[in-house]
Amino acid sequence: MSEPDWSQRRDQLTRAVRRLGSGYDEAMVDDLVQQGMIRLMRKPEAVNASYVWRTAWSVICDFRRRRRRRPEHGDAALPFVKDEGPSPADTVVATDLRRALRDCLEQAPESRRDVLTLYLVGHGPTECADMLNRTLKSCENAVYRGLDALRECLRSKGVA
Amino acid sequence: MTDEQLKQAFRDPAGSSEEGCDLDAIWAGAAGELDDVGPLLAHLRTCGGCAEAWALAREAQLGAKADEDAPKVHVPPPANRSLAWVALLAAAVMVFVGVWALQSPPGADTNPPVFRGDGDGIQAGVGQGDVAAGRRLWWSPVPDAVRYEVTVLSPALAVLHEARTAESEVVVPSAVAGGPVVWRVTARKQDGTAVESDTFRAVLPEAPR
């Protein structure tokens, strides 16, 4: 099997990291690309476009999880520097909203719950229908009605 | 709260423990490769970190697909160019006939309305001929309704236009671009009850200038 064109793969990986990690500075992108290249070179036989994107995704997921557990980068790692991130109050509000959203979703009828979950992570009704073996129409209705009910539920909890 | 704000809140990893996050399963789930995705979706509802990873996986899969599709753009060799010209000419004729059909029938308004829906509840009216009428959405009146609330959305479910009216029709304003939309109506009655329509599809023509 021929060796992958590593220069081309590096360009592709850089593009993928930039797109998935929007907002990262160039130094951060370089670091992540370097980590990704190491993973790609461990499995040269598997390298294709899909694998490159998956590698970019896994590098970014690992980085975010690591940072959440133990901040190593940015102002969060330097408590004496002015913190421009979300304030503790903002974080509490975000956590409350997330919790309320979860409760409202759990209250939703079963027929809507999975469709709404897929919609909230970025899938449109057509994809929902494919993934859940449902008709497009039932998924469209579940999204429309479900979002209305979700907003109403959040309002009733005072978080929307 | 907009759809985007809801999505952002759902994918907020703040406060999630991230226990039980299996990245391989998330990748397979986002790619539609799991037979039963239900348990994983139940986990996403409790874990913003996994929801964020799933949303990113989907974006990565779309990016990979775009990359894989990109080299397949095919330029016909010179021998096939005449065939390409014939296809282009045929397409131009079809576009011309389509435009003519849209603009020509002055008597189209006299055609009886065609109702769409499952026959139960509010039904949508379609079948108007001219361009202006094409931006008019209308439906079967509901007895005792005092108000109708209409929502027009893009196929990706972004709200494009909302209106309240006492009539059983609205004209979609010119601010909404032409193209495919979906729409629905809720009829409010005097006693406070509501009747909801199905979700209907329509293709809006560009607004006349």
Query: What's the confidence (pLDDT) of residue B82?
Result: 63
Query: What's the confidence (pLDDT) of residue A134?
Result: 94
A147 & A108 share domain: yes
A16 & A43 share domain: yes
CA separation for the pair B167, B141 (Å, rounded): 8
Contact B161, B206 (CB under 8 A): no
Does the predicted interface ipTM exceed a cut of 0.90? Answer: no
CA separation for the pair B9, A22 (Å, rounded): 18
Q: Kindly state whether residue A17 falls inside one of the protein's structural domains.
A: yes
Q: Kindly state whether residue A20 falls inside one of the protein's structural domains.
A: yes
Domain range for residue A20?
3-69
Q: Nearest Cβ partner of B12 from A94, A119, A143? A: A94
Percent of chain B topping pLDDT 90: 14
CA separation for the pair B23, B39 (Å, rounded): 14
Q: Find the CATH number of the domain harbouring A110.
A: 1.10.10.10
* Per-residue model confidence as pLDDT tens digits over A50-91: 999 999 999 999 988 888 776 555 555 554 444 445 565 666
A43 & A98 share domain: no
Per-10-residue mean pLDDT, chain B, length 209: 88 72 90 90 90 93 86 51 70 66 44 47 59 72 87 82 88 87 85 80 79
pTM for this entry = 0.58
Which of A42, A69, A96 lies at the terminal end of a domain, its last residue?
Answer: A69
Q: Kindly state whether residue A76 falls inside one of the protein's structural domains.
A: no
A92 & A65 share domain: no
A44 & A100 share domain: no
CA separation for the pair B209, B177 (Å, rounded): 12
Is any Cβ of chain A less than 8 angstroms from the Cβ of B182? Answer: yes
Decide if B13 and A106 are in contact by the 8 Å CB cutoff: no
A95 & A140 share domain: yes
* Per-residue model confidence as pLDDT tens digits over B138-185: 888 888 888 888 988 887 777 788 888 888 888 888 888 888 888 888
A102 & A143 share domain: yes
Decide if A19 and B51 are in contact by the 8 Å CB cutoff: no
Q: Nearest Cβ partner of A49 from B1, B64, B155? A: B64
A52 & A92 share domain: no
CA A131 to chain centroid: 19
Q: Nearest Cβ partner of A94 from B14, B67, B196? A: B14
Query: What's the confidence (pLDDT) of residue A113?
Result: 94
Match 């601010």 to its residue by tokens.
B175
Decide if B61 and A122 are in contact by the 8 Å CB cutoff: no
- Per-residue burial over A19-36, b = 16 or more CB atoms within 10 Å of its CB, e = otherwise: ebbeebeeeeeebbbebb
Q: Nearest Cβ partner of A114 from B41, B46, B48? A: B41
3-class DSSP state of A70: coil
**Which of B62, B67, B150 should we substitute to test contact with A (largest number of A Cβ atoms within 10 Å)?**
B67
Q: Kindly state whether residue A26 falls inside one of the protein's structural domains.
A: yes
Q: DSSP class of residue B175? A: T
Q: Is the dihedral of CA A131, A116, B57, A67 positive or negative?
A: negative
A97 & A64 share domain: no
Q: Nearest Cβ partner of B60 from A48, A57, A154? A: A57
A146 & A95 share domain: yes
Is any Cβ of chain A less than 8 angstroms from the Cβ of B41? Answer: yes
A115 & A147 share domain: yes
Query: What's the confidence (pLDDT) of residue B84?
Result: 65
* Per-residue model confidence as pLDDT tens digits over A100-143: 999 999 999 988 999 999 999 999 999 999 999 999 999 999 99
**Which of B6, B7, B18, B183 should we substitute to test contact with A (largest number of A Cβ atoms within 10 Å)?**
B6
Question: How close is the nearest chain B Cα to the Cα of A48, in Å?
Answer: 9
Question: How close is the nearest chain B Cα to the Cα of A148, in Å?
Answer: 10
Q: Kindly state whether residue A152 falls inside one of the protein's structural domains.
A: yes
Q: Kindly state whether residue A74 falls inside one of the protein's structural domains.
A: no
- Tell me which of B102 and A99 has the higher pLDDT: A99
**Which of A120, A131, A157 should we substitute to test contact with B (largest number of B Cβ atoms within 10 Å)?**
A120
Q: Give the chain A residue whose CA is nearest to the CA of B154.
A: A124
A7 & A37 share domain: yes
Q: Kindly state whether residue A134 falls inside one of the protein's structural domains.
A: yes
Decide if A97 and B59 are in contact by the 8 Å CB cutoff: no
Q: Kindly state whether residue A78 falls inside one of the protein's structural domains.
A: no
Count of domains in chain A?
Answer: 2
Query: What's the confidence (pLDDT) of residue A4?
Result: 74
